[in-house]
Amino acid sequence: MSAFRFTIDGVEIAAEEGQTIMEAADEAGVYIPRLCDHEGLRHQGSCRVCTVKSDGRSVAACTQPAAPGLVVENESAHITKLRRDLVEMLFHEGNHLCPICEASGNCELQAMAYRLDMTEPTKFPYLEPCRAVDASHPDIALDTNRCIACGRCIRASLDVDGKGVFGYIGRGIHRRVSVNGDNLADTDAAITDFAISNEVCPVGCIIRKREGFATPIGEREFDKALIGQDIEAKRDD
C-alpha cells in the first residue's frame, strides 16, 4: 500500500492509498465534523456535515478518497457556516428539545451545534413533526421525532447485527427511520444489538429503556468535552 501526504488547513497529513480524507485526518488528530459517519459502519455520505473543500471543490470527507498533494480546507469561516446551516436545518426538521431530552449531553447533534457555535436555530420555520413514539418493545423505544436520518442504525442492524430491523420511510424532509414490522415489538430487535447500543444513534431517537438518566446531566460525554476532542487529542503539535 503506497503512502503519500496531503494538507488540511496547512497541516501535513500522512495517508495511505484507500483511505478517505476523514480516515487520514482522524489518524493525524485533525477532526472533521460528521454525523452520519461512524467508525465500524460503512460510509453513507448523506449528512454533508463533513463537507470540506478539496482543491477548491466541495466534497464529503467521509467518502472522498485522500490523494497525494490534495489541499483541503476544513475549518474556514465558509465551511463552518455551511456546516452550521446544515445542523440548523436538522433542528428545524425534528423536535430537538434538548433541556427535556434524555440524550442531552450525549447527543451528537446537540454537541455539534455547540461546536459550531449554534445556540438556537433562527433561519427557518420549525416543522414540528408529530409522530407516535413506539414504546412497544420491552427494552427499546423509538422516537422518530428526533430522527436525523443519519442511517447509522440501518447500517448497524443490517451489516453488523445481520438483522435489517431498521429502514427509511418518507422522502425529502419527511425521511426518517422506521422498523421492519408493525412496531418494534414485531421485529427481532434486541437490547444487545449493536444498532441499539448508545454509540450508534447520535440523538435521542433510539432509547434504551430504564437507562436514560443513569448518568446525571452535567456529567455526560459532551458536558465535559467538545465533540471531536478525542480525535484532536491525538495531535502531537
Q: What are the grid coordinates assigned to 14, written together?
A: 500522512
Tell me which of 30, 49, 52, 90 binds ligand FES, using CB under 6 A: 49
Contact at 8 Å (CB) between 202 and 107?
yes
User: Are β-strands 71-73 and 3-8 bridged in parallel, bridged antiparallel, or unpaired?
Assistant: parallel
What span, in angstroms and rounded, lies between the C-alpha atoms of 39 and 164?
19
Residue 36 interacting with ligand FES (CB under 6 A): yes
Comparison of 44 and 183: residue with beta carbon closer to ligand FES: 44
Print the binding letters for residues 103-122 with ligand FES: x by CB under 6 A, - otherwise: --------------------
Q: Which of 204, 237, 221 is nearest to 115 (CA)?
A: 221
Comparison of 25 and 101: residue with beta carbon closer to ligand FES: 25
Comparison of 94 and 184: residue with beta carbon closer to ligand FES: 94
Q: What are the grid coordinates assigned to 68, written together?
A: 497525494
What span, in angstroms and rounded, lies between the C-alpha atoms of 105 and 152?
19
Print the binding letters for residues 54-93 with ligand FES: x by CB under 6 A, - otherwise: ------x-x-------------------------------
Binding site for ligand FES (CB under 6 A): 34-37, 45-50, 60, 62
